Amino acid sequence: MLGRVNHVAIAVPDLEAAAASYRGTLGASVTEPQALPEHGVTVAFVTLPNTKVELLEPLGDASPIAAFLEKSPSGGMHHICYEVEDIVAARDRLLQAGARVLGDGNPKIGAHGKPVLFLHPKDFQGTLIELEEV
């Protein structure tokens, strides 16, 4: 069911500072910030030869990233995203296996313009999992 790792997401309190650190200190290519109001975040992607790192900054007080940063003010790893060929089939299989899909269970469009779902971290060793259809 799982394909390759699409990205690892890092919650950051200051997206501009994080992007500058990746560009300047690590010499990485970083995309321009993109606001995703439906998800409550602003994102930028660090492009690597084999995957991406997603930098997440809260967009508004109701952002799930704001709550994460209250517990970890300097930021940290937020989730890992795996690719799947058919997100609805993957969701149905996971639900049958007892996994919990966050939200209303229906895919939303993510930062790459593709359907995504999030899986409860308590079902996956404390790690929030995002699935993205490719």
HSE, CB side, 13 Å, CA atoms: give it for residue 132. Answer: 17
The residues annotated as belonging to the active site are 130
pTM: 0.94
Q: What pLDDT sits at residue 51?
A: 96
For 51-64, how does the pLDDT look when each residue is reduced to its tens digit (9 = 90+)?
999 999 999 888 99
Give, in order, the Cα–Cα distances in Å from 104 to each of 18, 46, 76, 107, 123. 32, 30, 26, 9, 17
> Where do the structural domains in the chain lie, given as residue ranges?
5-133
Residue 21 has pLDDT above 90, yes or no: yes
Taking all residues of the chain, what is their mean pLDDT, rounded to a whole number?
A: 96
Provide mean pLDDT across the span 14-28. 97
Residue 17 has pLDDT above 90, yes or no: yes
- CATH code 3.10.180.10 for 5-133: yes
